[in-house]
Structures are given as structure tokens and as C-alpha cells.
């Protein structure tokens, strides 16, 4: 399926080298202030054109809002957004037809759909598809901000093995990190990571990374036991991003190496209500929100398209062969994919807040 959500639902469409990609957002409350600039700002965050090896294609992200917004406010009807593909070059992919790239979705799509899948730029499996999610995320963020006062942000904690050297950061620090060449809170790590990206590109290789998504305080009670847990839906939404290979909430796998006396978040009274003293669990208990910020980390694999020789099978002949990718590729998909993870988080939070009755169908001003 190309849709996600129950009450707040998105459907994405389009391929990397088709005429356009886009999204339809259904269930949006009426009366939410949304402008083209809100969408443009989010789409621009994924471009990274100032570091050419991160985005050689560097689309201008020309888009058009087709429906659902009138005089700067949502109408309560489906919002359709189309994003035009202007800089696709498909010639690079002709010699790769029926020769799946190792670690890419090419093989899976062929085994499922045969010769009918669009291999150009990876088709629907391309990171380009996530731009549609990010456009929808702009709508979701506006809804969260104007109804329940929740903000969502993210940052890179590691890129190609270069890690930040700080653990004392705040949500505001994470937001400000996006003013830097790379969204890392550690200036030294930014410099080292940029140098590494350039070096890796000259070698014809790629790198992965780890990002962290954070929110401000999320109202308690989001999520439904036992199969519609907020944690489960967040994980599903983030794992739907092609490059994601792992998600951990709070301290994640580190909790598995602790004793209960070390791992447990003590419950205290603060502001007249029960709160977690430390929030090692990432703001979720029983898979549901408890009134704390939500935080989780996401692991992104290296870009499969690289310029080093790789072994594959020519499916038209069923013979082993070797390929070398000659087209444009992002030396790391992690920075772009991080913005998509942030968008998917906002989309899931709106859906669950609506299901909990915290967001009305009409936002009264």
C-alpha cells in the first residue's frame, strides 16, 4: 500500500524519474493556517545542495498545492500536493535494466512485479519518493503546533562513523543545528563529517549514519493497546523509509545491558502530575505516550548506488555479471532520510491525537 494512517491519512504517488511525485493528505482539520512557505521550508531542508556530493541532482522542488487550502487555511478536505521532477536523467539507468544493484530494492521489485517495475532512479523505491512525505509532514507539523502545541525536530548523531561528542543538548540545540552545513550539534563533528563525505565521494563509495528524532512534550494517552501502540506505529512509519535499517526508542539497546535498578525511570510528582524523572525509555510506556518528550534513534544504511564494481545477476540472461554505477548518487542518504523520519513522526502523532479526541475536526480561531 502507498498509504498510512487512520483518521489522518496520507497517500503518496509517483516515481523518481516520472513526471512528478506527490501526496494526498486526507482528514486534515479545517481552520489550520498553512502556507506554501510552510511546505517550501520543509522541502528545502532535504536539499543539501550546498554539499554537492549529498545531492548531485539538486531538484528545485517546484511544487503546487492543488486542493484543500483556501485563503491560507485548511478547508477540512483532502490536500493534494504535486512536486515536479525537473532534473531527472534516465540514461544512466539503461545499462542497469535487469541488473539489480546490490543492497538496493531493485531485486525485490523485480521478484514481485517482474519487468513492469520502473527501474529509473529506483522508481518508487528511490529516496526521491520521501519528498512527498516531507510535504505531508509540513501539513502535519502545522496541525500539531496549532492544536496540541507539539514540535518535532531531529539531528544527526553519527555520519560515516563520525559521532557527535555531546550528550547534554536540548530540543532548542537540535533545532539550531539545522543552521549548520549538516544538522549536527557538535561543530567539530560537522567539519569532520563534511570532509569524510567529500573523501568518500572521490573514492566512489558511500556511508550511512544515525539520526535522532525528538519532540517537545506529547500529551499522555496517545496510542491504543495492544496492537495500535504509538511506539509500534512510529516504528512502522519510520521503517517504511527505504534506507532505514534500525530504530531504537530512548536508550534502546543500551537498556538491554542494564539492570532494572539502572534502567527504570523513577516516577515523581512535577507540576501537580506524575512525571518520569529521567525518560530513559523515550517518552513511551506500554507503547503509549505518558506526557514526556518522545525521542528515538534511526539507523540509515549506506547508499547502494556506488561507483565501485559490484557483482550482480543479469536477470534477462540469468548470468552473473559486474556493474559499475555511472550516474549521480548521494554519497549518503542519511541527512535527507532524517527529514523524512521527522515528517513521518509528525504524521503519526497527528493521527493518534485525532484518534484520542485531542484534535477537533474544526480548529476554531
Query: Which CATH number goes with the domain that contains 104?
Result: 3.60.150.10
Average predicted confidence (pLDDT) for the chain = 96
> 361 lies in a domain?
no
Residue 96: its pLDDT value, please?
A: 87
- Mean pLDDT (whole number) for 71-96: 92
Place of cell 556493474: 323
Is residue 365, in this structure, part of any structural domain at all? no
Contact 254, 332 (CB under 8 A): no
Q: Where are the beta strands (DSSP E) in the chain?
A: 3-4, 9-14, 20-26, 63-65, 69-70, 73-74, 79-84, 152-159, 162-163, 209-217, 244-249, 267-270, 273-276, 284-285, 288-289, 293-300, 310-314, 319-323
The answer on pLDDT for 344 being more than 80 is yes
Is 364 inside any structural domain?
A: no
CA 182 – CA 48 distance, rounded (Å): 8
- What average pLDDT does the segment 339-354 reach? 98
For residue 98, count other CB atoms closer than 10 A to its CB. 16
Tens-place pLDDT, residues 222-269: 999 999 999 999 999 999 999 999 999 999 999 999 999 999 999 999
- Tell me the backbone φ, ψ of residue 273, rounded to 5 degrees: -145, 155
Nearest residue to 278 (alpha-carbon basis) of 258, 303, 308: 258
Give the DSSP H or E segment for 110: helix 106-113
Estimate to the nearest angstrom the gap between the alpha carbon of 119 and the chain centroid.
Answer: 22
**Nearest-CA neighbor of 146 among 230, 237, 44, 28?**
28
Residue 280, Cβ neighbours under 10 Å: how many?
Answer: 17
Q: What is the mean pLDDT of residues 163-168?
A: 94
Each residue's pLDDT tens digit, 186-225:
999 999 999 999 999 999 999 999 999 999 999 999 999 9
Residues 108 and 304: their CA atoms lie apart, in Å, by 14
| Backbone angle region of 325, left / alpha / beta, with phi > 0 → left and psi within -120 to 50 → alpha | beta
pLDDT band at 5 (very low <50, low <70, confident <90, very high): very high
Please tell me the distance from the alpha carbon of residue 278 to that of residue 264, in angstroms, as a whole number: 9
Does a structural domain hold residue 362? no
In the predicted model, what is the mean pLDDT of residues 166-171?
Answer: 94
Residue 90 lies in a domain: yes
Residue 327 burial (CB count, 10 A): 16
Q: What percent of the chain lies above the pLDDT cut of 70? A: 100
> Of 120 and 338, which is predicted with more confidence?
338
In this predicted structure, the answer to whether residue 365 has a pLDDT above a threshold of 70 is no
Please state, in angstroms and rounded to a whole number, the distance separating the CA atoms of residues 312 and 320: 6
Per-residue pLDDT band for 328 (boundaries 50, 70, 90) equals: confident
Looking at the domain assignment, is residue 100 inside a domain?
yes
C-alpha distances out from residue 153 to 173, 214, 217, 334, 345, Å: 10, 5, 12, 15, 9
Domain total of the chain: 1
Containing structural domain, residue 99: 3-355
Q: Span 158-172, mean pLDDT? A: 96
Angle at 155 between CA 153 and CA 158, to 5 degrees: 160
**Which pLDDT tens digit goes with each residue over 332-342?**
999 999 999 99
Q: What digits encode the pLDDT tens for the residues 25-62? A: 999 999 999 999 999 999 999 999 999 999 888 989 99
Amino acid at each position: 500500500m502507498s498509504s498510512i494512517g487512520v483518521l489522518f491519512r496520507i497517500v503518496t504517488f509517483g516515481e523518481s524519474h516520472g513526471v512528478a511525485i506527490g501526496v494526498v493528505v486526507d482528514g486534515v482539520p479545517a481552520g489550520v493556517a498553512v502556507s506554501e512557505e510552510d511546505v517550501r521550508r520543509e522541502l528545502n531542508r532535504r536539499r543539501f545542495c550546498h554539499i554537492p556530493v549529498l545531492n548531485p541532482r539538486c531538484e528545485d522542488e517546484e511544487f503546487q498545492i492543488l486542493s484543500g487550502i483556501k485563503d491560507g487555511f485548511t478547508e477540512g478536505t483532502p490536500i493534494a500536493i504535486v512536486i515536479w521532477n525537473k532534473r531527472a536523467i534516465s540514461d544512466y539507468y539503461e545499462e542497469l535494466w535487469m541488473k539489480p544493484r546490490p543492497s538496493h530494492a531493485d531485486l525485490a521489485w523485480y521478484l514481485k512485479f517482474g519487468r513492469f517495475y520502473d527501474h529509473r532512479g529506483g522508481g518508487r523505491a528511490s529516496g526521491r519518493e520521501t519528498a512527498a512525505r516531507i510535504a505531508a509532514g509540513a501539513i502535519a507539523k502545522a496541525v500539531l503546533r496549532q492544536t496540541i502545541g507539539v514540535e518535532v525536530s531531529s539531528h544527526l548523531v553519527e555520519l560515516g562513523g563520525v559521532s557527535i561528542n555531546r550528550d547534554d543538548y536540548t530540543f532548542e540545540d537540535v533545532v539550531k543545528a539545522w543552521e549548520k552545513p549538516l544538522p549536527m550539534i557538535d561543530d567539530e563533528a560537522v567539519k569532520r563529517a563534511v570532509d569524510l563525505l567529500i573523501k568518500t565521494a572521490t573514492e566512489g563509495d558511500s556511508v550511512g549514519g544515525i539520526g535522532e528524532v525528538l519532540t517537545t512534550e506529547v500529551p499522555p494517552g496517545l496510542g491504543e493497546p495492544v496492537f495500535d501502540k504509538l511506539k509500534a506505529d512510529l516504528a512502522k512509519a519510520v521503517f517504511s523509509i527505504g534506507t532505514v535499517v534500525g530504530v531504537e526508542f530512548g536508550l534502546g539497546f543500551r537498556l538491554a545491558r542494564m539492570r532494572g535498578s539502572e534502567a527504570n525511570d523513577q516516577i515523581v510528582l512535577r507540576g501537580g502530575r506524575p512525571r518520569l524523572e529521567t525518560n530513559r525509555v523515550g517518552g513511551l510506556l506500554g507503547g503509549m505516550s505518558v506526557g514526556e518528550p518522545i525521542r528515538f534513534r534511526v539507523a540509515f544504511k549506506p547508499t547502494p548506488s556506488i561507483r565501485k564494481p559490484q557483482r550482480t545477476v543479469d536477470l534477462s540472461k540469468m548470468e552473473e555479471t559486474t556493474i559499475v554505477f555511472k550516474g549521480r548518487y548521494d554519497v549518503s542518504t542519511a541527512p535527507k532520510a532524517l527529514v523524512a523520519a521527522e515528517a513521518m513522526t509528525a504524521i503519526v502523532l497527528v493521527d493518534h491525537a485525532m484518534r484520542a479526541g485531542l484534535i477537533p475536526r474544526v480548529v476554531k480561531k
